[in-house]
Amino acid sequence: MGPVLLRVEGLTKTFGGVRAVDGVDLEVSPATVTGLIGPNGAGKSTVLGMLAGAIRPDAGRIRLGERTVSGQPPHRMAQMGIIRTFQTASLFPQLTVLENLLLGFKPWRGERPRAALFARGWKRQEAAQVGRARPMLAQLGLNRHENTPAASLSGGERRLLEIGRALLAEPTVLLLDEPMAGVAPHLGELVAGLVDGLVTTGTAVVLVEHEMRVIERLCHSVVVMADGKVIVRGTLDEVRTNQQVRMAYLGQ
Ligand SMILES: Nc1ncnc2c1ncn2[C@@H]1O[C@H](COP(=O)(O)OP(=O)(O)O)[C@@H](O)[C@H]1O
Ligand SMILES: [Mg+2]
């Protein structure tokens, strides 16, 4: 699998007595897509939350390259290149499509985004950033909606916009939590194409997705979780035929 970019060891999180994540190990290489799958409640979103810095691990370690990054808050994780999109879109509904997209750029990614819009130096940077955001809007098929409030977009379009914003941050590691949820099939293919493109630039993607066709289309390897633990890892074909995986899904 080549060099390891993101290394997770013994990651653990308990919520009020429930071991949501229980000793998870992961290794993620640059320019790969790792699928994180498993039944509802397996702990997938909690793993992503810890990788993004939104949830503080009770135990375990997250390393990005040579650095230990576990325990850092989300804006620090984002500055170090770990960017997440949410299971439900997290846009600013009153801001326009273009404004939402501009919030993806460094150096304000993740940190007090509203304030960033009015920060000193914004105007100067704005022209350059708009120059990069417009091609992204076109790629997303949202150029007609540049000045539309995000609230007016369809669910699928909002999802695309959120992913576009994450891409503009040029993540080292992109964490996608069910990016295809509520996205029409033709828009889904657009999302998949964007992920492919990002991976060719060296980004490592961790993808939580329940739609197996999407996993098959995008992932180089798959990690299966159940009850907070990794039960199997390998290629999709390897895990698909695994008895424990079948049990985990049937037992749902
Ligand atoms: N903030 C929270 N408070 C309490 N329990 C939680 C919280 N987040 C997740 N859980 C519980 O942790 C377990 C794993 O949840 P989650 O990571 O969302 O699973 P998945 O994304 O695989 O469906 C579930 O039992 C869920 O109810
Ligand atoms: Mg989830």
Structure tokens at 195: 């992920």
For residue 112, the model assigns a pLDDT of 53
- With a CB cutoff of 8 Å and minimum separation 6, the contacts of 185 are none
Indicate whether residue 79 lines ligand 1 (CB < 6 A).
no
Query: Residue 70: pLDDT above 90?
Result: yes
Total of domains in the chain? 1
Q: In angstroms, rounded to a whole number, what is the distance separating the alpha carbons of residues 87 and 184?
A: 16
On whether residue 108 sits in a domain, the answer given is yes
Over range 155-175, report the average pLDDT.
90
For residue 109, the model assigns a pLDDT of 44
On whether residue 161 sits in a domain, the answer given is yes
On whether residue 199 sits in a domain, the answer given is yes
Over range 60-83, report the average pLDDT.
93
On whether residue 96 sits in a domain, the answer given is yes
Q: In angstroms, rounded to a whole number, what is the distance separating the alpha carbons of residues 210 and 75?
A: 28
- Return the closest-CA partner of residue 19 out of 40, 41, 37: 41
What is the identity of the amino acid at 202? G
In the reported structure, the alpha carbon of residue 175 is separated from the centroid of ligand 2 by a whole-number distance in angstroms of 12
pLDDT tens digits for 200-230? 999 999 999 988 889 999 999 999 999 999 9
In whole numbers, what is the pLDDT of the chain averaged over residues?
88
Strands 82-85 and 173-177: parallel
What band does 88 get if pLDDT is binned at 50, 70 and 90? low
Q: Residue 51 is part of a domain; what is its CATH number?
A: 3.40.50.300
Query: Residue 87: pLDDT above 80?
Result: no
- With a CB cutoff of 8 Å and minimum separation 6, the contacts of 24 are 8, 10, 11, 12, 43, 47, 60, 225, 228, 229, 230
Indicate whether residue 13 lines ligand 1 (CB < 6 A).
no
Domain hosting residue 234, numbered range: 6-250
Structure tokens at 199: 């991976």
Query: Residue 10: pLDDT above 90?
Result: yes
Indicate whether residue 181 lines ligand 1 (CB < 6 A).
no
On whether residue 200 sits in a domain, the answer given is yes
Q: Is the full-model pTM beyond 0.75?
A: yes
On whether residue 100 sits in a domain, the answer given is yes
For residue 43, the model assigns a pLDDT of 98
**Considering only 50-54, 63-67, 104-108, which range has the smallest mean pLDDT?**
104-108
On whether residue 41 sits in a domain, the answer given is yes
- Ligand 1 pocket test, candidate residues 46, 84, 252, most atoms within 8 A of CB: 46
On whether residue 1 sits in a domain, the answer given is no
